Chains A and B, each alone.
Chain A
Amino acid sequence: MTVSDPPSPAPDWPLAIYQALKAADVRQLCYVPDAGHSRLIRLAHDDPAIATTVLTTEEEGVALSAGAWLGGQRAVLLMQSSGVGNCVNMLSLLSSCRFPFLSFVTMRGEWAEFNPWQVAMGKATQAAFEIMGVTVFRLERPEDAGEMAAAAARLAYDSDQPIAVLIAQRMIGAKKWTESR
């Protein structure tokens, strides 16, 4: 490499997660949308081998994931941190039946947050998962995305564990509130 080379682009972490989910044979992806998940959602929509389901509220995705597993398929739930509190009672389904569960959660309210209403749930996100027995990974660096997604999928589907991967707000980039031209 010479000094005149352009800087290497940031790793395409949504693609790395998508590829790990494909390698794990995930066949259903459900979501409450978030800007940080938009590329991964688009990748799933473009893949005829993945059934995508848009939810009205996050706990629907916990139940859908359980149903998919009953039917022999692996599902994944995408949401943002504000939705994790909505899931608390439904998460009891996972421990009651030892269902595998895998969720990727984009964080709000923890890094350069503009909206104070996001902070309370952002601070409680990890604890809300953990009080219900969900194991939490934190993804801080885009270059770790593929390996962490693969490890989380293995732990979820091969060891019947509920796993949430929290994607740091610092990594995604804080939401822009002023239009730049």
Chain B
Amino acid sequence: MDAALDRRAAVNALLRDRGELLVVSGLGSSSYDVFAAGDHPANFYLWGAMGGAAMIGLGLALAQPSRPVAVITGDGEQLMGLGSLATIAAKKPKNLAIIVLDNAHFGETGMQQSHSGLGANLELIATGAGFPSVSTIADQAALDAFRPKLHDLAGPHFARVGISTEHVDRALPARDGVYLKTRFRRHLGYPVS
């Protein structure tokens, strides 16, 4: 059985000294975790578009090849976009990392078991899709060992972080998508039209 990390502590550790990192967070608790680790104009929080986080990350990574891009999402969100793992692996953007916070449940909707809780192995799926770098993160040491990969431009990386189902308070980022988009683009130096 995987050790279960605290999701907030895990995301905090991943985003420490984030430097040039651009972050896309998946619908639900992942967006709260990324916000709780510190709001940043280079964060794009999804409040919808379930299943789309990894692909937004791909489009961003292709557009900004010199900047590292991390998608931080949940098991349920990624399960809805499993095909995108094959799409990303086929394209192999060196600056993209997909981080799946896996508590094996649909935490936002009543804690039903998800497919990863019912036997689906996300690392094997990512490996089978063709990811050259696949990590399992089950404790603090693995988290610390993985963190430099977020910045090494030697991806694409896939990591599954085993997290606890323990309740954490919601931390709600801005929901206005136009604001989040414009803030992000301004951070990259694109003027408002």
Chain A contact residues, CB within 8 Å of chain B: 27-28, 51, 53-57, 59-73, 75, 89-90, 92-93, 96-99, 158, 160
Contacts and interface: CB of A to CB of B under 8 A. Distances in A.
A65 B55 CA distance: 9
A69 B56 CA distance: 9
B185 A70 contact: yes
A65 B59 contact: yes
B49 A98 contact: no
Across chains A and B, which 10 residue pairs bring their CB atoms closest together, nearest first?
A67-B59, A71-B63, A56-B83, A97-B177, A63-B52, A63-B55, A67-B56, A73-B63, A68-B59, A64-B59
Interface residues of B, number: 38
A90 B52 contact: yes
Give the most central of B83, B177, B193: most A CB within 10 Å: B177
15 contacts: A56-B83, A56-B87, A59-B51, A59-B52, A60-B83, A60-B87, A67-B59, A70-B188, A72-B188, A72-B189, A90-B49, A93-B49, A96-B48, A96-B177, A97-B180
A28 B53 CA distance: 18
A62 B53 CA distance: 11
Contacts of A61: 55
B59 A71 contact: yes
A72 B181 CA distance: 11
A75 B185 contact: no
Interface of B: 22, 24, 44, 47-64, 81, 83-84, 86-87, 90-91, 177-178, 180-181, 184-185, 188-190, 193
Given A98-B177, A98-B178, A70 B60 contact: yes
Given A70-B44, A160-B193, A53 B177 contact: no
Main secondary structure, interface of B, reads: helix
A115 B185 CA distance: 45
A63 B49 contact: yes
Contact of A92 (B49, B55, B57, B60): B49
Nearest to A52: B91
A70 B81 contact: no
Most buried by B among A63, A65, A96: A63
